[in-house]
Amino acid sequence: MTEPQLIDQYKRNLNYLRVSITDRCNLRCMYCVPRDQIPKLSHKDILRYEEILRIVRLGVSMGISKVRITGGEPLVRKGVYHFLEELSAIDGLQDVSLTTNGVFLKNNLKKIWSAGIRRINVSLDTLKRPKFANITGVDRFDQVWEGILDAECMGFSPLKINVVVLRDINTDELVEFARLSLTHPFHIRFIEHMPIGKSSVSERPVLAPEIKRIISRLGDLKPLPRTSRDGPAERYRFSGAAGEIGLIRPLSQHFCERCNRLRLTASGQLRPCLLSDQIEDLKTPLRKGLLDKDLREIFLKAVQHKPSQHHLVEDDREEPCSQMCAIGG
């Protein structure tokens, strides 16, 4: 039997599920999680792995073909490598990837590889050790950098480095980040900082045209043609470079009209838009023993509530109450 597909009222086909498996993180990035915040969710509030796997299987039966595991920091959750293995083995799931801060990458790359994962995004906002400690609250730059280099050696591909651009904090390093793409096959992705949640970053955001202008000092930045596998990044390459540059522009040119994402939070809520607090609870009905067909209805309800676009750049905007670390980015 063919199950109903996840197509919203604006005809967007939602085939990409981002799954946050924990709200806990070993870093306290200044723009993501308030320094004094302690994790709120208790063990019983977090979806168990078998519950996540059931939800993903349901999603796959309705057209989800791509899953990204995120957090909090996914690699801090016990049992994550076995979970990744089970996830990768789900029939019909074509692409499983991981977003991590990289602190635990180095010693666990073999397990991630054995679990069938080849695509990793590492978040890294500075190449300087003291500044890393400043931004994240923890002195772990060396571990992250060694993890990235080892992942490159092992052949993880694409290996994306996510850089949230923060005015006067890392704008002086954008050229250095971009330069990495000349000699390494990395995809360096500059992300416009989204002003959401409580954060200690309140400066005027650095938008993509300014980022482009800064990194163009390195040479001619050639746009790459869009492919069906592309995510939200506008892609570029410096002539002769091993890697590429991506600009992710949630503010200066939002990509809502081609957004194909749904999010599952660690506490079991389906969230059709990162920037809206419109959610559907899946955990309670799942734990009450609802049948697959009833859970599919909840998926469909979430999809119908996906807004046409976010309103983050409007003066009278309504910001989501949730912190990014609770949603998974």
Residue sitting closest to ligand SAM (CB): 329
Residue 141 phi/psi, 5-degree rounding, is -55, -45
Min separation Cβ 42 and ligand SAM, Å: 20
Closest CB to ligand SAM among 57 and 311?
311
Closest CB to ligand SAM among 169 and 191?
191
Give the Cα separation of 215 and 175 in Å (integer).
Answer: 5
Min separation Cβ 29 and ligand SAM, Å: 6
The SS3 assignment for 67 reads: strand
Give the Cα separation of 174 and 127 in Å (integer).
Answer: 10
Closest CB to ligand SAM among 3 and 152?
152
Closest CB to ligand SAM among 194 and 262?
194
Pair 19, 52: CB distance under 8 Å = yes
Min separation Cβ 278 and ligand SAM, Å: 19
129-136 and 141-154 helices cross at what angle (nearest 10)? 110
Min separation Cβ 156 and ligand SAM, Å: 15
Closest CB to ligand SAM among 193 and 237?
193
Residue 111 phi/psi, 5-degree rounding, is -65, -35
Closest CB to ligand SAM among 266 and 270?
266
The SS3 assignment for 90 reads: coil
Min separation Cβ 92 and ligand SAM, Å: 25
The SS3 assignment for 175 reads: helix
Min separation Cβ 297 and ligand SAM, Å: 29
- Give the sign of the dihedral formed by CA 249, CA 250, CA 254, CA 258: positive
Q: Interface residues with ligand SAM (CB under 6 A)?
A: 25, 31-32, 70-71, 73, 99-101, 123, 162, 164, 191, 193-194, 196, 324-325, 328-329
Number of H helices, E strands in the chain: 10, 12
Helix H or strand E encompassing 52: helix 49-61
